[in-house]
Structure 1
């Protein structure tokens, strides 16, 4: 598979890159700062490394790709519209090159609340949502932009992310949210995104994932 990964220096992005390379995929990394690529990553194994602010290079980086992945988002509680804005750049490049498959990282609070969620989980989710309201509003606008466009997108919605190992064992709900969604490792979030790349059931859907 030929893929391009935006946000390849981030927690989920670097996991996508590493797992895809291990599976034999051709990977192009798009980053804000190439110097922040992990030292343990063999740059020679990458098809290319492109700066996010180089519009022409970004367009070339998505050309002919089987799928494009994005782990881009805010680095703190203040989003400033970064997910919506940067995802818009990705979509513009993809549309210009006729590339359709896009998988992005969103978050569980953007999806629907499970009807059978325990009260303690509902209260916790709402409390977190209040603290990170700006971040989740940005992600919601990003998803709305994707829904209004023509790409074959999937918004993957993890809960709290950890630095645990990849297990390959987690729950997912297409169009919904797993009950009692509390955490998942970045490694398993990346695993889930890669697995969804050629899954037609996830196209133009939000997908909740959690242990």
Structure 2
């Protein structure tokens, strides 16, 4: 399988690249600074792209790929709507390349509160997080809306708090919902969940909650 990975220098993005290569995929990793992705592999092509809002610059990166994996995210809560604008351009380039599969990262607060969620999370922690990072989640919500209006076979994975721990492959998922009482998951396991969803038709045009 040939895949294009956006956000390849971030925590989830690096894990996506590594795990794709371990699975024998051919990977085009899109970066702004190639020095931030110190990986070498015969199946890896690192492509430097200065801006992600121009479909014309993305077509050569996506052409020939069976799927696009996006680990794009803002660097901070004061960043502009970088994910939604980039996703719009990516989808346009995918259409030009006849690439239909897209798997991206969103976040738990974008979705509805999970059935069975604890009272502390429901009434205190989630509202506070949504308020503090409202611009970030508004950007991710717009990304999801853009995907829903598209005709691609998309999946978004919605994790809670991300931590740096080794991959386990053991986590809970919820199709079309968030995972109740799930407070964290490692970036490596988010990448694993994205790759597991890649070839799973039941996840097409669905959000998937993931958490320990």
Same fold (TM over 0.5): yes
Structure 1 residue 49 and structure 2 residue 50: aligned? no
Cα distance in 2 between the residues matched to 1:154 and 1:79: 24
Give yes or no for contact 2:25–2:43 (8 Å, CA) kept in 1. no
- Equivalent residue of 1:47, what SS? strand
Give yes or no for contact 2:155–2:208 (8 Å, CA) kept in 1. yes
Partner residue in 2 for 1:120: 120
Structure 1 residue 138 and structure 2 residue 136: aligned? no
Q: Which runs of 5+ in 1 are unaligned?
A: none
Question: 1:50 offset after TM fit, Å?
Answer: 3.7
Question: 1:32 offset after TM fit, Å?
Answer: 1.7
Give yes or no for contact 2:176–2:209 (8 Å, CA) kept in 1. yes
Cα distance in 2 between the residues matched to 1:50 and 1:93: 16
Partner residue in 1 for 2:193: 192
Length, aligned pairs only: 209
Give yes or no for contact 1:113–1:177 (8 Å, CA) kept in 2. yes
Partner residue in 2 for 1:11: 11
| Pairing of 1:143-182 with structure 2 (within 5 A) | 143-182=144-183
Give yes or no for contact 1:50–1:61 (8 Å, CA) kept in 2. no
Q: Which runs of 5+ in 2 are unaligned?
A: none
List, as ranges, runs of 4+ consecutive aligned residues in structure 1 with deviation greater than 6 Å: none
Residues 75-84 or 184-193, more deviating: 75-84
TM-score, structure 1 normalization: 0.94
Give yes or no for contact 2:166–2:186 (8 Å, CA) kept in 1. yes
Cα distance in 2 between the residues matched to 1:79 and 1:49: 23
